[in-house]
A and B are shown apart, each in its own frame.
Chain A
Amino acid sequence: MPNAIPIIEIVFYLFSGVATLAALGVITSRNPVYSVLFLVLTFFSSACIWLLLEAEFLAITLVLVYVGAVMVLFLFVVMMLDINLTKLKSGFASYLPVGILVAIAMAAQLFILIWATGAGSQVLEYGDADGSNTRMLGELLYTEYLYPFEIAGLILLVAIVAAISLTHRRRPETKYQDPSRQVKVNRDERVRLVKMDAEED
């Protein structure tokens, strides 16, 4: 079939189209929560494009780390903060020239890069016979880089210990409730009987 469009290209254009539209949605939607959700869609579509390139490890990492952790945090922050959108958008016209300039510069850089290297002229060799780079990475990490990998794990442990020991402490000046102590309270701690003489009218 010489003139048939390969299925892979259809899928690629589908995902890149969704990614582009979602990216537009991020900057155009009025509600910041929608913006964040659009960004999630952008990341997800990009992850799918990576899957098409057989870079499944990067795709999984993008979904797990960015969609699963970073964007959820973003969503929390956006929902908790009361963001005044009209104030944010007030300077739009004055920033526009600079924005366009930066956009043109970025586009020009991309075109020069593609023009200079020639699109698709470089195909990096990677992957073993079954093309699984997750497996290759895993093998490298647990054989050749085992020792540095374990040390990196210890560094993360120290970071956790340090963060907790620096933030988790009893501060006498803060007021807080301790339900278990509230429940355990008995009558003598709260009620005091005072003997008084009967008053005469």
Chain B
Amino acid sequence: MILSELQLALPEIFVATMACVVLVADLFVTEQRRGFTHTLAVLALVFAAIITLRVMMPVGESLLAFSETFVRDRFGDVLKLFAYLVLAGVFVYAKHFLRAAGLFRGEFYSLSLFALLGVMIMVSAASMLTLYLGLELLALSSYALVALNRDSASGSEAAMKYFILGSLASGILLYGISLIYGATGSIQLGQISDALAAGMSDNLMLSFGLAFMVVGIAFKLGAVPFHMWLPDVYQGAPAAVTLLISSLPKLGYLALAIRLLADGMGNMHDDWQAMLAVLAALSLILGNVVAIAQTNIKRMLAYSTISHVGFVLLGILAASPAGYSAAMFYTIVYSMMSAGAFAVIILLSGNGVEAENLDDFKGLAKRSPWYALMMLMIMFSLAGIPVFVGFFAKWQVIAAAIQSGFVGLSVLAVVTAVIGAFYYLRVVKLMYFDEPDNAAPVTAPIDFRAVLSVNGLAMLGLGVFSGGLIGVCVRAFA
């Protein structure tokens, strides 16, 4: 099968075109018929998935294009498909909230599609230049989305923090990239790997470059001690945007880490394993312990993100195909769990007031047993209770880490996961054993209810039949 370069990049080209189409089409739509923009954006994702599926790369094969700046492989294809899925879910969840908050504007959809494009570019980048450009495309769209509600002071504050710290992180990453370019003489990941294999791993410039690069990645992922922006941004952004930035970009950052560290700097794994180990340990401890003290659920989920980042890093630092596939499985599962958790927050937010306090969840089981059950499954999955998919994600990661000899870190991961279970179960306790403050029934449009139900049940379904998705992730690194 011979494919032209343009055919290989067809998903990217299609999403870029559709982002522009949505941007322009929205101008001709009146305020009442904005649903059209929503439908168009969701359809774009469906067709992008079809286009990607039509030319799936066979397992273990990869093709380079555009002067070796672009790579198409199974890892990228799988991540892209899940990125479409997550964003489609986000669109359905967000519509309900945006309508109520008076933020139902076309820019949300075009900027989200551009963010998706940034993720896709990162996912199939074969050069540090494309990785960086994809990262910037994603970051710029996210900054604008966080500031979507211009009249909210907390939203603007969050956007400023996000922008300043995000630019700092990009600068640090770029500095690392330039040092590594200086040491190896290439920005193409394959050529960097070859240069390292030829034996120059004791170069001081390389070590500095690697350190800057790891700091840049840690900033973007929100690993301790580079996590300060995360709780403020999660809390300040409108719930629909928090929903987006807590799920979709994680897939891109995973690709950023794996492409840079595993594909490019794989020969230096001894150096970055030690750095990631420190980041992972700190993230696991701080994320889980500080989350206990939170009364704002968006903040609590932000610290929970930090602890999950620790698990993802644990998978990557195993530096084996098993570790990478476990990290990939974890990230995919996490993006779904996070989307589901924020969807329930959106569900409880009425008339533009966000249900961001833990007390808002009091007695949800009496107000709506079904949604309480969905939230229970998502919380159990986040906590990593067996049978639910979150348990298998943690299991895979820890198994890979132990195989690579990180026994102490794995024990720490298990202990902190048990500590972390407390604050997830507290939400369940509030829903099932406390009396509701207001007894108003919970209402939502049919599409929202359907997607949330599928999302919640998937936590159980993917857990019981976890072999399928794990297999997909393992084959991505075959």
Contacts and interface: CB of A to CB of B under 8 A. Distances in A.
Contact of B144 (A147, A148, A152, A158): A158
A165 B144 contact: yes
Contacts of A145: 67, 69, 129
Interface string A123-165: 0000000000000000000011111100110110111011001
Chain B CB within 10 A, most for which of A143, A146, A152, A154: A154
B107 A165 contact: yes
Interface string B89-114: 00000000000000001010011001
B57 to A, nearest CB: 18
Contacts of B133: 148, 151-152, 155
Chain A CB within 10 A, most for which of B66, B105, B107, B130: B66
B114 A147 contact: no
Contact of B16 (A143, A154, A162): A154
Chain A, interface SS category: helix
Contacts of A166: 144, 147, 150
B66 A154 contact: no
Given A146-B66, A166-B147, A161 B136 contact: no
Interface string B109-150: 011001001000100000101100110110011011001101
B101 to A, nearest CB: 14
A161 B66 contact: no
A158 B69 contact: no
Nearest to B187: A148
Chain B CB within 10 A, most for which of A144, A147, A169: A147
Given A159-B140, A162-B140, A148 B105 contact: no
B70 interface: yes
A158 B16 CA distance: 11
Given A147-B66, A147-B69, A161 B130 contact: no
Interface residues of B, number: 30
Contacts of B121: 151
Contacts of A159: 140
B385 interface: no
A159 B23 CA distance: 13
B9 interface: yes
A120 B393 CA distance: 63
Interface string B369-412: 00000000000000000000000000000000000000000000
B111 A161 contact: yes
A154 B116 CA distance: 13
Nearest to B20: A157
Interface string B219-242: 000000000000000000000000
B137 A143 contact: no
A149 B9 CA distance: 15
Nearest to B23: A161
A149 to B, nearest CB: 9
A146 B69 CA distance: 9
Interface residues of A, number: 18
Contact of B9 (A147, A154, A155, A157): A147
A148 B69 contact: yes
A161 B16 CA distance: 14
Nearest to B108: A165
Nearest to B130: A148
Interface string B154-171: 000000000000000000
Contacts of B67: 143-147
Contacts of A148: 69, 127, 129-130, 133
Contacts of A158: 111, 114, 137, 140-141, 144
Nearest to B156: A166
A144 B64 CA distance: 13
Nearest to B68: A144
A161 B144 contact: yes
A43 B229 CA distance: 42
A152 B129 CA distance: 10
Nearest to A150: B16
Contact of A161 (B70, B107, B134): B107
B130 A151 contact: yes
B128 to A, nearest CB: 10
B163 to A, nearest CB: 10
B76 to A, nearest CB: 14
Contact of A151 (B137, B143, B144, B147): B137
A162 B16 CA distance: 16
Contacts of A144: 67
A148 B141 CA distance: 18
Contacts of B110: 161
A197 B129 CA distance: 84
A165 B141 CA distance: 11
Nearest to A149: B133
A80 B446 CA distance: 56
Contact of B136 (A146, A155, A157, A162): A155
Interface in A36-63: none
A145 B117 CA distance: 18
B111 A155 contact: no
A61 to B, nearest CB: 21
A77 B157 CA distance: 29
Interface string A157-181: 1110110011001000000000000
A162 B137 CA distance: 12
Contacts of A154: 16, 114, 117, 137
A94 to B, nearest CB: 34
8 contacts: A147-B70, A152-B133, A158-B111, A158-B114, A161-B23, A161-B111, A161-B144, A166-B144
List the 9 shortest-distance A-B pairs measured between CB atoms, nearest first.
A162-B144, A147-B66, A165-B107, A151-B133, A144-B67, A147-B69, A158-B140, A158-B114, A148-B129
